[in-house]
Amino acid sequence: MHGTESAVAVRREAPAADNLQQLLSLCLDCARACLRCADECLAADDPQQLSRCLQLSLDCADRCFALAPVPVAKDSATMGELLTICAEACERAAVECRKQGARHQHCRLCAEICERCGEACRTAAPALAA
């Protein structure tokens, strides 16, 4: 097999239970960071300028917190769909927080964890959605 053929032939495997637990832990850390960011946005001198950041941080926190209580098997299609939704929310929050990061440290820190969480969810989702 050539390199391209072998890459296509490789089946993605669902993450092991401990890896899924680590992913869910990362999601909870991300949710907490998003809530801190939202609190700081509200307390900032320019909260109107941070309204989009606030909104997307809260949305991301909601999506990340929603994953924690989901009692599904590691190969559940439902979990794969939820991870995709979470990844999208993380990516949107990261982009907006990154824009504000030069002026607000809480936004920079939030962007960093949202990027990590979004990437981790995006990577795990296809294996679980299969």
CB–CB of 75/2 below 8 Å?
Answer: no
7: left (phi over 0), alpha (psi -120 to 50) or beta: alpha
Per-residue pLDDT of the chain (130 residues; tens, 9 = 90+): 344 333 333 334 445 556 888 998 999 999 999 999 999 999 988 888 899 999 999 999 999 998 877 655 555 778 888 899 999 999 999 999 999 988 999 999 999 999 999 999 999 988 876 6
* Burial class of residue 38, CB neighbours in 10 A (0-12, 13-18, 19+): buried
Range 33-129 classified under CATH 1.10.1040.10: no
Contact predicate 117/84, CB 8 Å: no
